[in-house]
Chains A and B, each alone.
Chain A
Amino acid sequence: MKNKAAIIFLITALSALLVGMLFGLFAALQYLIPEFLKDLIPFHKMRPFHVTTVITWIILCATGSIYFYLTQIEKLKLFSNKLMKLHLVVFLLTGLGIYLSYFFGKMEGREYLAFTPILTIPILFGWFLFGINYFKTMMKQVKIWPVYYWMWGTGIVFMMIHLTEAHLWLLPYFREHVIKDLTIQWKSYGSFVGSWNMLVYGISIYIMAKIKGSDAIGRGKLAFFFYFLGLTNLMFGWAHHTYIVPTQPWIRYVAYGVSMTEWIILGYMIYDWKKNLSQTKKEAYPLAYRFLVSTDFWIFINLIIALLFSIPAINFFTHGTHVTVAHSMGTTIGINTTILFASLLFIISRISAFSKKQETLIKRGLWGFNITLFLFFSALMVAGARRSHWIYTGNDTSFSNMQDSLFWVYFAFFVFGVVLTTSISIIGLPILKKLIKSLRV
């Protein structure tokens, strides 16, 4: 393998997924046995480990995939291989720094970005290197960009913008104003997720185009219409997180209006779903294709939920409950992870074939993944409904009584989490083995 840096990105990403799931299980266990390991690995320390590690999976797998496609499939000459290697080293060292920061309890950051804020500088620097390499490579060698190239470029730029915005609280002007601060914090998180979705969804369109053997899917007017719609949502559609925060009403009006445009996407999906399936040349890439079919299902479910709780009257009851967690798990595991697995399987198909036995194992793993993710997701929805009911009707019961009444739901959530982790390992380990092996070739 000539381009080892891209593969190392992917190996690190997959390892992060497997480890991150274990962190998640340890954190979830504390819903069941709160006293267990409370002093050694308390929930408030375990959660940042879990969240950072699974975000690492998404970011690094998307990055590694893009580098691989450009250099190995599109056969483009990267502007600078050295920059790519430097990008890898910067991210790996920063990752190490983040874990050390967590391990020694230096968590001065905030939810989702709990590490000491100084580490944001090398992360931004890494994205900057990626951006330079990406745009310099593409602008010189590709004249007319299909939509996925635009999406990747946009994802890289907006990652930098929103990662910076997420740290505006470091300035006294912002952190002194609690409501403004909270609004901007969640504004940046919404757009941050929108930015990585640009990378990941771009990957899914790229793979679909490759499986179909035609670039039309990435060049049509409709593809660009959806890209601009997604970009508008990335920029302005974040405020459903803060409908309930007493900020200026116009901020919430804009979010309501923009969020509702996503109905167009849903409507089109329903119209186009079957048509897409029949046209795809699934025989050439059976595994990658199967994962994309799963993605379709999870997009459908999560888009409906996202649209529903973008309506303020529904959001009022789902906000602050596990329904939100169900949605974020549904999107990061159901959508992002299936797309990224499809990407890894597509990459593997270009390196070396799986044996029949491995293929069967991965297919079974996917079944287990889909079934348990659905059950896992349902358990969270039930917990969310119960919590919402408690918030609005049951305030004569204490919080701990309400939590105790959810014991069996949390138990089911944990068991499904264990099976889900096992299914992901069944899918992930053969891929990891192949990737490691490809480094030696």
Chain B
Amino acid sequence: MTKKTTYNFLVITILIILLVIFNGFVYTSNENKNPVKLTEQGLHGQRLWQENNCWSCHQTYGLGGYLGPDLTNIYSVENKGPMYIKAFLNSGVKTMPKFNFSDAEKEALVTYLKFIDSTGYYPNYNAKFKPNGWVEIEYKNEK
């Protein structure tokens, strides 16, 4: 092995060690001060969310497709909430197809969205902007 190759391997090894440490922290540390764990029903809702590709059109925390609105705080936002969500699910609107969810499935999806809602805010209207470009976001339940 040449000197240059050894040097390259050394740099890659250092980067990989740092990555392993970094991943270790990301995987094992609490996501924030008030981590929320999904219940069985919430996990059922999450499964339905995936199997029906809800993410194709909707977002949570701005991540997902853009044909439909973001649903991060749909559960708690004024004039919306569980009944509103359930009404949309099987009726279908202009862009949204008509699904055929059972009552239990609708309940599971609402539970999932309730959990998402409890994790934080999006849009984060009370975020604070710092002069160095940083944004301090508002965490839920931190007050």
Binding site for B on A (CB under 8 A): 30-31, 34-35, 38-39, 42-45, 47-48, 107-111, 114, 143-145, 150, 154, 168, 172, 174-180, 182-184, 186-187, 224, 228, 231-232, 235-236, 241-248, 250-251, 254, 256, 311-316, 319-322, 325, 387, 391-392, 399-400, 403
Contacts and interface: CB of A to CB of B under 8 A. Distances in A.
A247 B32 contact: yes
B127 interface: yes
A314 B70 CA distance: 19
A243 B61 CA distance: 10
A222 B120 CA distance: 43
Contacts of B29: 248
B15 A176 contact: no
A387 B66 CA distance: 10
A111 B2 CA distance: 43
Closest A-B pairs by Cβ, 5 of them:
A320-B62, A246-B120, A44-B56, A179-B31, A44-B53
B139 A246 contact: yes
A31 B54 CA distance: 16
Contact of B2 (A31, A144, A176, A250): A144
Given A30-B95, A245-B63, A246-B31, 15 more contacts: A44-B53, A44-B54, A47-B65, A48-B53, A150-B8, A177-B37, A180-B27, A243-B135, A246-B119, A246-B139, A254-B22, A313-B129, A313-B134, A321-B62, A399-B69
Question: Interface range on chain B: under 10, 10 to 19, 20 to 34, or 35 or more?
Answer: 35 or more
Contacts of A187: 26
Contacts of A325: 66
A178 B56 contact: no
16 contacts: A43-B56, A44-B56, A109-B50, A111-B64, A176-B43, A177-B36, A177-B37, A178-B36, A228-B11, A231-B12, A244-B124, A245-B61, A245-B63, A325-B66, A399-B68, A399-B69
B120 A245 contact: yes
Nearest to B134: A312
B133 interface: yes
Contact of B119 (A150, A178, A224, A387): A178
Contacts of B35: 177, 179-180
B60 interface: yes
A178 B15 contact: no
A144 B134 CA distance: 43
Contacts of B25: 250
A312 to B, nearest CB: 4
Contact of B15 (A45, A144, A228, A245): A228
Contacts of B27: 168, 174, 180, 184
Interface in B21-75: 22, 25-27, 29-32, 35-38, 43, 46-47, 50-57, 59-70
Interface of B: 2, 4-5, 8, 11-12, 15, 18-19, 22, 25-27, 29-32, 35-38, 43, 46-47, 50-57, 59-70, 93-95, 97, 115-116, 119-125, 127, 129-130, 133-135, 137, 139-140
B129 A45 contact: no
B94 A144 contact: no
Contact of A319 (B31, B37, B57, B62): B62
A143 B2 contact: yes
B24 to A, nearest CB: 12
A184 B134 contact: no
B94 A42 contact: no
A108 B133 contact: no
A320 B70 contact: yes
A112 B94 CA distance: 25
Nearest to A154: B12
A32 to B, nearest CB: 11
Nearest to A245: B61
A241 B15 contact: no
B128 to A, nearest CB: 10
Contact of B22 (A182, A236, A243): A236
B64 to A, nearest CB: 6
A241 B64 CA distance: 11
A199 B126 CA distance: 41
B95 to A, nearest CB: 4
Contacts of A111: 55-56, 63-65
A319 B62 CA distance: 6
A260 to B, nearest CB: 9
Given A175-B43, A311-B133, A313-B129, A35 B61 contact: no
A283 to B, nearest CB: 33
Contact of A322 (B11, B54, B66, B123): B66
A311 B11 CA distance: 27
B61 A244 contact: yes
Contact of B135 (A144, A180, A250, A316): A316
